Every structure is written in structure tokens, then in C-alpha cells.
A and B are shown apart, each in its own frame.
Chain A
Amino acid sequence: MNNGEILTVRNLNVSYGEAKVLFDIDLGVKPGQVVACVGRNGAGKSTLLKSIAGFLKPLSGSVTCDGIGLIGLMSYDIAKMGIKYIPQDKKVFSDLTVRENLELGSYATKDYNWDQVTDYFPKLKQLMDRKAGHLSGGERQMLMIGRAILGSPKVLLIDEPTEGLAPSIVSHLRVVFGELRKKSSLVIVEQNLPLICAISDKVYAIKEGRIIKELAGESVKANICEQYL
């Protein structure tokens, strides 16, 4: 662990073919911290999460979790180590029921305690036998988060969790994130600044693939973050 960090990213450089999209990214997350990444569309925020989760192979740099290097590991091994990525597409396995979606989360982690999921998202209890393809956007997001928290992950990488969701669901997610941080660290890519400022300990502003500002403590305010959007 570096400086008490559970997740450490150092000098990370990533490209899509010839196009370089991340430049010398440094990022640190301590246990129980909520860290947000803000920036315009195309700044490289999602690429950063995908690189940490092992879906993209970096050109150079290091990503460590509890001191163990993640570069070169398969994405399913990284997930097994407790670093779960929740993509922004809200894509659940639509042909499977909610129950079957959760079963897959349990199969991967051997954690069959679904009470933790239904405690956060009681609505899922009533939807267990519904095909996930028939869920609303908010319900899909609940299912994706529910599936990911099985196995008590160390770090949750959450990409644009509130995009396109109703304000009531955003409020609910805000409460859930507050609870989740008691067990896991969260790295959230998000455009919703009031939410970010309410829950984050640290904010990284990313522009054109580079971290241009790191805000922490009192400086995590919507009007300051807004400058970097």
C-alpha cells in the first residue's frame, strides 16, 4: 500500500491504436474514500476506469491495489481481486432475470448474501423474476451496482452512474454511495457536480487525457469543479 492507498495509479499512459488518450495519470485512493473524476466528454475519464479494470492495456505506467500490480492481469482476475467496474451503458443481461443476473455476481464471488443488495435497493426484491431487459434505467443501474457489490469489493469504479436517471433515483444513489463507502472505496466518473461535491473526498479534473487539477477537502465545491467541465 502506498501512503495508505488501496489503489494507486502512477504515470499511466493509454492509447487507442495510434491515438494516445491518457498522459502520465497519477491517482490515489485510500480505503473508504470517494474519489471523483470530472471533465468534459472525451477527456479520458472512462478510459481511465477501463484501464484500471483491465479492459485496456496501457502503454506504460503502473496500477496497484494493496501493493499488487494489476497491469497485465486479465480483467476477470482484477474483478476477482475486488476491483469492480460498473460501466455507464447500464447494460444488464437483458435475456436473464434479475435473479439470474445476481446469480452470476454470486457465482463469480461465491457471495450469496443478497440481503446486502436488497437492503440498498429494496425494489429489486419485487423484480427478481423479471427479465432485466424490461427494467427501467434506474432499476438497471440498481441491478448493476447490486451485482457488483457482491463479494464486498475493495474498490468500485463507477462510470456516470446518474446519467439519464430521475432526480429521485439520483437522491437514492447518493444515499447508497454514502453507505457503500463504509465497505469499499469508490472511484466515480460523473458530470453531476452537486452529487460529486456532496459525496467526494477528492476530485480529479481531467482535460484532454491529463489531470489538470486535484481538489480535496474544502476545495471540493461545485463552483470550483465547474471550471473544469
Chain B
Amino acid sequence: MMDTQLLISGVIFGLSIGSIFFLMAIGLSLCFGLMRIISLDQLLYYSIGAYITYSISLVTGSLWLGALAGMVVAGVISFGVERFIFLRIYERDIAFTMIASFGVLIGGVGVIKSIWGVIPRPVPIPMVTQISILGTEVPFYRLLVVVISLLVYVAIWLFLNRTIIGKAIRAGIEDVEHVEGLGINVYRLFTTTFIIAGTLSGLAGGLHAPLIMVDPQMGLEVMPFVFMVVIIGGLGSIKGTLISAFLVGQVVSLGSLIYAPLAQMAPFAIMLLILLIKPTGLYGSKLLKR
């Protein structure tokens, strides 16, 4: 029987890691939904966000300033990559864009190694406060990460449902050709979506940095989990991505408490089960081929 304190700690850990997965997966999901590209380079922006957070917090002593700078730098770099690479290959086959994005990721990891080296770097947690939940002391920072990701969810929801650009993106996820037919420049929508994705990946890296050791391979290490989140949630669905991220976070966290290898294995088993029942994922819509 699992100890209650251990269970509460596990759930909070799962929610916080799920929040990081959500921030990363939302970009991948939107990029696939709208542009039909598998943007592996989002994992690079996550690493960049973490490294910039490390460097800035080292100089200023403020993680929040670091995370903010990480978001901005990741957003700017993602804008550059979209303009110089993806803009020229959107029309190509999905496999081509995936390989190109993998090239960007690998190349970017090389640049990170040359700037920061290969030794993992620690980022201090900005607050050591613990709060009590049902008698269990849990780190306040982890709860804050969950709150930030929920705020991002609300902001993205409002953006997609209350702004005309957001509505155009939702329409484009259904059928980008029909959006073009109305006279809307879809490439601007692509750029906007790509910057949002890159910025959120950078934020994920910045928030995750104090919880792990920052190292050049960190993006590749979380890749399977982020993909699982996107697949389970359903491509293009923000709500599905959030639910799926928390689900995968809990499975990783509680699975490791029950039996350590479960943390690695159980999310795959759940993904396969959901795919068998609903191949489009929990909230995936029927997406048309571009």
C-alpha cells in the first residue's frame, strides 16, 4: 500500500512534469495541426530556453528574468528558423520537413555544446518554500509551474477563441486551403503559430531548468514523452494536449513510485491502448492532408 505522503508528492511531481510536457507539446500540436509539419526543432527551443535561463540567472540571480529571456531568445530563433528554412519547404512532403527539423535540432544541439560545453549545469530553484497539502510538504515551485501552465492554457484558449488570428488558425487546422481562398495570408498564420510554439518551448525549458540538470541532450531525452502527449491528446487539440500531458505526467510519476521501470514503459502502453480505441487521440479531429 502506497504511503499517502508519497502519493501526494507523486501527484504534484506528475502535475509539474505534465505541465512541462504540455508547454512543449502545445507547439508541436499546433504546428502539425496548421502547417502539417512535425517540428522536432521545438525540442531545441526548449533546450535554448533552459540554457538562457541558466546563464541569465547566473548573472542576475533571478530565475524569472532568465526564463523570460529564454522565452524571448527561443521565440526569436524559432522565427529565424521558420523564415529561413520552413517557409521554403512547407509544400514538401511531411517526411522532408521532419528530417529538416531534425537537422535543425541536431545542429542546434551542436551549437549549444560549443557555447556551454557538455557538462550538465545546475540551476538553483528560485524558492525553497514548501507548502502543506493534507499534511504533506510539497515544493511551492512545482505548484507554481502547474499554475503557469494552466494560465498558458487559458491564454492560448482565449487567443484561439477570442481573436480573429486565433480563429483563422483554428480554421486553418481544419482546412488551410479554404482559409487561403478567403484571401487570408496563411503564411503569416504559420509564422505566428511557429513563434508561439517556439516561445512556449523556451518557457518550458526555463521552468524545467531548476528541476533538472541542464544538458545539451535534454531535448532529446523528453522527446518520446512529448510525442506521446501530442498523440494521446489528438493532433491540433489544445484541450486534448493538456489532459494528455497531465495523464502522461501522472503515469511517469506514479509509475516510478510503484515500480521504477513502469515510468518508462507505462506511458507507451497507455498510448498504444488509446490509439487502438481512438486512433485520432482523445480529442483529435479528422485532419485533412495538406
Contacts and interface: CB of A to CB of B under 8 A. Distances in A.
Given A95-B170, A96-B170, A96-B171, A108 B178 contact: no
B209 to A, nearest CB: 36
Interface of B: 164, 167-168, 170-171, 173-175, 177-186, 285
B178 A93 contact: yes
A84 to B, nearest CB: 7
Contacts of A148: 182
A208 interface: no
B183 A55 contact: no
Interface of A: 53, 55, 74-77, 79-80, 84-85, 87, 91, 93-96, 100-101, 103-105, 107-109, 147-148, 151
B182 A103 contact: no
Q: Is the interface of B mostly helix, strand, loop or mixed?
A: helix
19 contacts: A74-B185, A75-B181, A76-B183, A76-B186, A79-B180, A91-B175, A93-B170, A94-B174, A95-B173, A100-B167, A101-B171, A103-B164, A104-B168, A104-B179, A104-B184, A107-B164, A107-B168, A107-B184, A148-B182
Nearest to A86: B181
B183 A151 contact: yes
B285 to A, nearest CB: 7
A107 B164 CA distance: 7
A125 to B, nearest CB: 20
Contacts of B178: 87, 91, 93
Given A96-B167, A96-B170, A104 B182 contact: yes
Contacts of A53: 181
Contacts of A101: 171
Contact of B174 (A77, A85, A93, A105): A93
A77 B185 CA distance: 8
A107 to B, nearest CB: 5
Contacts of A96: 167, 170-171
A76 B174 contact: no
A76 to B, nearest CB: 5
A100 B172 CA distance: 13
Nearest to B179: A104
A95 B182 CA distance: 17
Nearest to B173: A95
A55 B167 contact: no
B91 to A, nearest CB: 11
Nearest to B164: A107
Contacts of A74: 180, 185
Nearest to B185: A76
A76 B167 contact: no
Given A95-B170, A96-B167, A84 B175 contact: no
Given A76-B186, A100-B167, A95 B181 contact: no
Nearest to B172: A93
Contact of A104 (B171, B173, B177, B185): B171
Contacts of A100: 167, 171
A227 B142 CA distance: 75
Contacts of A108: 182-184
A61 B171 CA distance: 33
A180 B144 CA distance: 57
Given A93-B174, A93-B175, A94-B174, A79 B167 contact: no
